[in-house]
Amino acid sequence: MSRLVTLFGGGGFLGRYVAQELLKAGARVRVVERDPRKALAIKPLGGLGQTQFVSADITKPASVARAIAGSDSVVNLVGILSGDFKRIHVEGAANVAKAAADAGATALVHISAIGADPESASAYGRTKGEGEAAVKAAYPAATIIRPSILFGQEDDFVNRFAAMQAMPIVPVMRPTVKFQPAWVADVARAIAAAALDPATYGGQTYELGGPEQITMQGLQDFIARETGREPTFAPIPDAIGGMVATVAGLLPGAPITRDQWAMLQTDNVATGNGFAAFGIDPTPMDAVAPAWLVQFKPRGRFAPARAKPAA
């Protein structure tokens, strides 16, 4: 019988791509969400009986154990950008790892992030680092995947900045900070491979970054070029940016929090080429992003393309 892979957070942006890769490989997939209805769009991607949906909360050990029962592989994709980081990134991750070990699962893939470090200045990076340690303590053979910023058709990264460029003046915080954006489908392929082949990938840590490093200003310029927008970019000095993040972070729905500001103080780039271990040639952003950025053009797909600058 094919492997049963349980995906915590399988209904999220990255999780939907991971589920698709596993289903294509013939695995049975159990998608775990607090509200499984969030993930029902995955069901048509698999064959009859190939996909299961379970309700569980990673902060509740008993529900985690029930969700994992009978699994061959477990993948923890759950993460947050604001809120109680320790409860989710450390305690929740430990619950999943302990339950996977108790259930006898032969593979555990834990999704962390570049910049995970118990000494990080940001609560996000700090708890991601502490979470990795908690996972390793409970399940030493776990595979740790640290992606850079993810881009894809439904992302909340490139799309957010593209929407902002409808304004005549676009503020740019930390214009020189560097990212190494990775296509969500490439990262999903790596995660699926790790879940299905623990003999090769178990016990390892992989940092996954795309083929190019780009600054915050470079990203803004790329988006403007692809959408035909010509906003005026206004770099924000760090002293002002820090104050804005502090004040904005106190408001609901704020575009940036103080902790996200702390994360922007460090480049988000991979150490080495983790994709190589999976035989994946990472996809550059300009190979796929223009296909969906067309929606942000002033006249949609009917807007004329702008010439790219000479190399």
Would you list the domain boundaries of the chain?
Answer: 4-151+182-208
If you average pLDDT over residues 152-159, what whole number do you get?
Answer: 94
Provide the 10 A C-beta neighbour count for residue 232: 8
Q: Are 92 and 59 in contact (CB under 8 A)?
A: yes
Provide the 10 A C-beta neighbour count for residue 79: 20
CATH superfamily entry for domain 4-151+182-208 = NAD(P)-binding Rossmann-like Domain (3.40.50.720)
Question: pLDDT digit string (tens) for 272-307?
Answer: 899 999 999 999 999 999 999 999 998 755 555 555
Range with the lowest mean pLDDT among 39-43, 146-150, 230-234?
39-43
Token pair in block for residue 198 = 């623990």
pTM: 0.92
Q: 196-230 as b/e, with b when 16 or more CB fall inside 10 Å? A: bebeebbeebbbbbbbebbbbeebbebbbbbbbbe
Closest by CA to 151, choosing from 183, 179, 180, 178, is: 183
Closest by CA to 71, choosing from 206, 200, 203, 198, is: 198
pLDDT of the residue at 248? 61
Question: pLDDT digit string (tens) for 49-60?
Answer: 899 999 999 999
